[in-house]
Amino acid sequence: MKTTTRVCIIGGGVVGCSVAYHLTKLGWSDVMLLERSELTSGSTWHAAGGFHTLNGDTNMAALQGYTIRLYRELEALTGMSCGLHHVGGVTLADTPERLDMLKAERAKHRYMGMDTEIIGPDEIKKLSPITNVDGVLGGLYDPLDGHLDPSGTTHAYARAAKMGGAEIVLHTKVIATTPRADGTWNVVTDKGTIHAEHLVNAAGLWAREVAAMAGCYLPLHPMEHQYIVTDEVPEIMAMLDAGGEHPHVMDPSGESYLRQEGRGLCIGFYEQKCRPWAVNGTSWDFGHELLADDFDKIEESIAFAYKRFPVLERAGVKSVIHGPFTFAPDGNPLVGPVPGLRNYWSACGVMAGFSQGGGVGLMLAQWMIAGEAERDVSAMDVARFGRWIGPGYTLPKVIENYQTRFSVVYPNQELPAARPHRTTPMYDTFDAMGAVWGAQYGLEVVNYFAQPGEVRYETPSFRRSNAWEATAREVMGVRQAVGINELQNFGKYAVTGRDARAWLDRIMAGRIPAPGRLSLTPMLSEKGKIIGDFTVSCLSDTEFQLTASYGAQDMHMRWFDTHLAGDVQVVNVSDRRTGFQIAGPRARDLLAAVTSADVSAEAFRFMDVKRMVVGLSDAIVQRVSYTGDLGFEIFVDALEQRALWQALWDKGQAFGITAFGMRAMMSLRLDRFFGSWMREFSPDYTAAETGLDRFIQFKKNTDFIGRSLAEAERASPPARKLAHFVVDAADADVVAYEPIWLDGAVVGFCTSGGYSHWTGQSVATGFLPADRITEGLEVEIEILGEMRKARVVTAPLWDDPRMRA
Ligand SMILES: Cc1cc2nc3c(=O)[nH]c(=O)nc-3n(C[C@H](O)[C@H](O)[C@H](O)COP(=O)(O)OP(=O)(O)OC[C@H]3O[C@@H](n4cnc5c(N)ncnc54)[C@H](O)[C@@H]3O)c2cc1C
């Protein structure tokens, strides 16, 4: 065993082996994988080996597609068999809502180049004669679905990694990991210590324990999971004799997945009566044993399965596999550099190792070697949960995720587990006002206010929901008088120091404003991708405030920390600095009523920032609004938020003040085509594609990060650009990722949309070929399987000069 290595991977399950293979494939051969037992000794050996592409996140779905296509490559490279069965699979829908969801998925697949199709009950019956299609309305067929041999596949990854130079060391347990001053790691094992430049935690069932060795917490938890393998089934034998194979059938209503296993069947369940495993930690003694059979918890699921697949009732049980595997709170993997640690990488929480393991390995290897992955990995970024997360939150969320694995996922849905968890000082006040709550990054935020007599629950739907009236009411309140909305859900950073301006000039692509002014700027990666859209406020030459998306806090802080240079301090003040935005034609009158400072149009211009006393508090006030109105953002210390509210709300009565929530905010922004983080702006897109290039300051004399790519795009503009549409919608508006059709072909997709209550139109934003974007261009947008006419509009739907006056 060597004692120094560039990369040390802890864990020889399918994920660790995939990471090892991808690192060597991309050129790092000095790689070592440590496994405390034999390969596959965690969850991997008892997996059912099924794979599929379906995932609500398009990037995750694409990576699942990559994983599945990789297996043939692995077989060819190593000469080993992965035991592949590309039998195809169908996901059943027996409610209109589920069919809507599958149609929306199918629509996304069109521009992802995936060959799925919606099929009817007759076709389902033809594919799977053992399925009782009573009540089935249709299904989504994916020819890529299939299954493999988990052990053979893991060994093939390992063989391929070895062929690329990796050393795989078995029966070697890591017992401690300690960082050195230079950011490298001592990896202490029961066979000696290894000095590694980079450390990868791929310890699966023991990922929590291994993370704790480095003093960090990873939000994942193991759940027990059970599947049953039957004896021979005559109908399957007949299919085999005829030269066929049975496809996979996912039956979300029965919370089951079914496939052929040899001459019989295999069926697994995501049961409601599920059980978390090893709540207080995974024992080091756990190894190749299975958990005891437990038919009680899947009794109801089995009863349902007997109705859907009557042959099961007659089939004998050959074996029961009951074992644990890990989940993150949202069911997606935890991948990437762990915030707060140097050269420490996570490849954990992979709940579908045979659908996702290849993509996880590829993304992590790219990230480690090139500094960033080729596509947006936010959905699996280990930093997406923030430092506030702990086991008390993770456990109920993981249980909820397991229970809802097969549920219909609605775009406006709010999941209830572990809530309320994080609340602002306004929680009780807003709750008493009828708040209908949502959660963002663990924080309770108001979606809208229900009036007395209205239901305080938004019905989950793909179509317009019961929040319609309330949202319209709040939109009108803003546009016609003045609205007030909490500012908590912004990420906020205090940047101070002698070199703060120079540092910001390098980190941000845009102009860094003069004292007393604001600017908008994209933050770009080395490859020119958008990794943040920021407002920079200059309070003095050595003191700045940055605001951006609340949910990207840890990703942004990780970026800032790794790029710190000179006399600069960056402090995340997201939860310490909060307040309200007031917006609408009476906003200035209201501000004037609570401050003695001069807030006239001449003294307080559009894009100014000032410190002033507002009510009882010292505040930072910015003249800007995300609603497109005359507006102000007022930031105070979090402990003074209620006092600020009282001052604004009391004085606001005279001006007809309306409290508004996120639903109204997202409707208001549509009128001005203001983009939004992870919708229009994400690491999948460049500044020139999204129009954010207008905020890049090419004149500045700084080699800002991403400059060469931004310059290249300037010289050779991108082929696609964002366009805005008015849509001839019926009862459902664009959400995101709907395909855009032109001349009978899919030419782009939507990034977001919704209903503009102020202008009374359905609005969408999406990518089109840049040379086709002209006022009035007629396209079609596929919403829930229906073609809807849409027209390109190039000027904002509403432009109030008072915003800038
Ligand atoms: C019943 C069941 C059915 C499943 N069916 C499917 C399916 O059909 N399709 C699918 O895609 N997924 C399925 N899964 C999930 C799948 O098994 C996991 O996604 C996958 O195995 C995770 O792999 P991993 O490499 O992350 O973790 P693990 O397989 O847990 O591997 C971690 C490895 O790290 C080693 N290790 C831990 N700590 C140390 C240490 N300190 N030192 C050295 N080595 C260490 C362990 O010994 C282990 O070998 C199923 C899981 C179960 C339980």
Confidence label for 58 from pLDDT (cuts 50, 70 and 90):
confident
Q: Does 111 have pLDDT greater than 90?
A: no
Mean residue pLDDT of the chain comes to: 96
Kindly report the pTM of this predicted structure: 0.97
Q: Does 644 have pLDDT greater than 90?
A: yes
Residue 34, strand partner residues: 10, 169
37 lines ligand 1 (CB under 6 A): yes
55 lines ligand 1 (CB under 6 A): no
Q: Which of 252, 172, 256 is nearest to 3 (CA)?
A: 172
Q: Which of 730, 735, 745 is nearest to 766 (CA)?
A: 735
Tens-digit pLDDT profile for residues 213-256: 999 999 999 999 999 999 999 999 999 999 999 999 999 999 99
Q: Does 803 have pLDDT greater than 90?
A: no
Distance of CA 711 to the CA centre of its chain: 30
Confidence label for 530 from pLDDT (cuts 50, 70 and 90):
very high
Angle, alpha carbons 173-178-181 (nearest 5°): 150
Per cent of the chain over pLDDT 70 is 100
Stronger pLDDT, 758 or 785, i.e. the higher one: 758
Residue 89 CA: distances (Å) to CA of 16, 142, 258: 27, 5, 10
748 lines ligand 1 (CB under 6 A): no
Tokens of 310: 């009557």
Q: Is 716 exposed, middle or buried (0-12, 13-18, 19+ CB in 10 A)?
A: exposed
210 lines ligand 1 (CB under 6 A): yes
336 lines ligand 1 (CB under 6 A): no
Q: Which of 186, 160, 190 is nearest to 172 (CA)?
A: 190
Q: How far apart are CA 388 and CA 234, in angstroms?
A: 54
Point out the least confidently predicted range of 48-62, 113-127, 480-494, 782-796: 48-62
Q: Does 421 have pLDDT greater than 90?
A: yes
Per cent of the chain over pLDDT 90 is 95
34 lines ligand 1 (CB under 6 A): yes
Cα dihedral: 55, 57, 60, 65 (round 10): 50
Q: Which of 47, 37, 11, 35 is nearest to 290 (CA)?
A: 47
Take atom 35 of ligand 1 and give the residue whose Cα is closest: 11
How many A from CA of 145 to the centre of ligand 1?
Answer: 20
Pocket test for ligand 1, best of 71, 167, 271, 325 (most atoms within 8 A of CB): 325
3-class secondary-structure state, position 667: helix
Q: How far apart are CA 761 and CA 123, in angstroms?
A: 39
Atom number of ligand 1 nearest to Cα 225: 1
Q: How far apart are CA 345 and CA 371, in angstroms?
A: 12
Q: Does 173 have pLDDT greater than 90?
A: yes
Q: Is 340 exposed, middle or buried (0-12, 13-18, 19+ CB in 10 A)?
A: middle
How high is the pLDDT of residue 367? 98
Q: How far apart are CA 445 and CA 352, in angstroms?
A: 32
- DSSP assignment of 679-723 equals TTBSTTSBHHHHTGGGGB-TTSSS--TTHHHHHHHHHS--SEEEE
Cα dihedral: 302, 307, 313, 319 (round 10): -40
Residue 677, strand partner residues: 681
359 lines ligand 1 (CB under 6 A): no
Backbone angles phi, psi at 577, to 5 degrees: -115, 115
How high is the pLDDT of residue 24? 98
Q: Does 805 have pLDDT greater than 90?
A: no
Pairing of strands 89-93, 248-251: parallel
Q: Is 30 exposed, middle or buried (0-12, 13-18, 19+ CB in 10 A)?
A: middle
Tens-digit pLDDT profile for residues 539-560: 999 999 999 999 999 999 999 9
46 lines ligand 1 (CB under 6 A): yes
Q: Does 113 have pLDDT greater than 90?
A: no
Q: How far apart are CA 307 and CA 381, in angstroms?
A: 40
Q: How far apart are the first and last CA of the chain?
A: 71
Q: Does 780 have pLDDT greater than 90?
A: yes
Across 728-737, average pLDDT? 96
Q: Does 152 have pLDDT greater than 90?
A: yes
Q: Does 112 have pLDDT greater than 90?
A: no
Tokens of 526: 């080395």
How many A from CA of 481 to the centre of ligand 1?
Answer: 57
Confidence label for 494 from pLDDT (cuts 50, 70 and 90):
very high
How high is the pLDDT of residue 170? 98
How high is the pLDDT of residue 802? 86
Residue 578 CA: distances (Å) to CA of 500, 628, 639: 22, 21, 9
Find out whether 189 and 173 touch, Cβ atoms under 8 Å.
yes
Find out whether 258 and 266 touch, Cβ atoms under 8 Å.
yes
Tokens of 423: 């609340």
Confidence label for 114 from pLDDT (cuts 50, 70 and 90):
confident
How high is the pLDDT of residue 477? 98
Confidence label for 57 from pLDDT (cuts 50, 70 and 90):
confident
352 lines ligand 1 (CB under 6 A): yes
How high is the pLDDT of residue 108? 87
Q: Is 137 exposed, middle or buried (0-12, 13-18, 19+ CB in 10 A)?
A: middle
Across 773-796, average pLDDT? 96
How many A from CA of 47 to the centre of ligand 1?
Answer: 8
Q: Which of 344, 376, 349 is nearest to 363 (CA)?
A: 376
How many A from CA of 202 to the centre of ligand 1?
Answer: 9
Cβ of 288: how many Cβ atoms within 10 Å?
Answer: 12
44 lines ligand 1 (CB under 6 A): yes
Q: Does 785 have pLDDT greater than 90?
A: no
Confidence label for 727 from pLDDT (cuts 50, 70 and 90):
very high
